[in-house]
Amino acid sequence: MPWHVTLRDASCVGDRANLYSLGEIELARGSVVGQEAYLCTGTHDFDHPDTPLLTAKITVGADAFVGARAFVLPGVRIGDGAVIGACSVVTRDLPSWTVSAGNPIRIIRAREIPDVAGRLSAPTDK
C-alpha cells in the first residue's frame, strides 16, 4: 500500500528491501534502508480467537541507517542518526545517535561523528 509510505528528502531504500506497509512507514530526511531489509507494520493479536490484524507505524529518523537484511517490527521508532547493524531484529524503539545490532537488537555504543578538528561527538544540530 504505497499510500502508507512517506519518503522524505534524500531518503532511500536499497534493492529488494520490503516496506510491508499495512500501516504507515515514514523515512525521514537522509535516512537509508539497506538491501533486503524488511520493515513490517503488521502483526496479529494471537490472544484473540480470530487473530485480527494489528498495525503500527514505523518511523526511521533523519540520517538513520538500517543495515542490510535487518527486520523492523511494527510500531518501532528509530531515532535520528541511529545505525542498525545488518541482519538485526529491531524489537523496540532506538534512541538517536546510537549504534545497535543483534537478535534481539541491543545498543552497542553511542554514534560519534568527528568534527572538522577531529573531535568526536554526537551531532547537536539535528
Residue 51 sits in a domain of what CATH number? 2.160.10.10
Number of domains within the chain: 1
Report CA-CA distances (Å) from 105 to 51, 72, 92, 114.
Answer: 26, 10, 8, 25
Residue-wise pLDDT for 7-27, tens only, equals 999 999 999 999 999 999 999
Read off the pLDDT of each residue in 99-109 and give the average, rounded to a whole number. Answer: 97
35 in a domain, yes or no? yes
Among residues 48, 116, 124, 125, the one annotated as catalytic is 48
**26 occurs within a structural domain:** yes
Q: Would residue 48 show up in a list of annotated catalytic residues for this protein?
A: yes
**Tell me, what's the pLDDT at 114?**
76
Instruction: Tell whether 126 is covered by a domain.
Output: no
- Residue 119's pLDDT is what? 61
Whole-angstrom distance, CA of residue 112 vs CA of residue 120: 5
Is 54 inside a domain boundary?
yes
The confidence band for 126, taking pLDDT boundaries of 50, 70 and 90, is: very low
Look up residue 70 and give its amino acid.
Answer: A
pLDDT mean across residues, the chain: 93
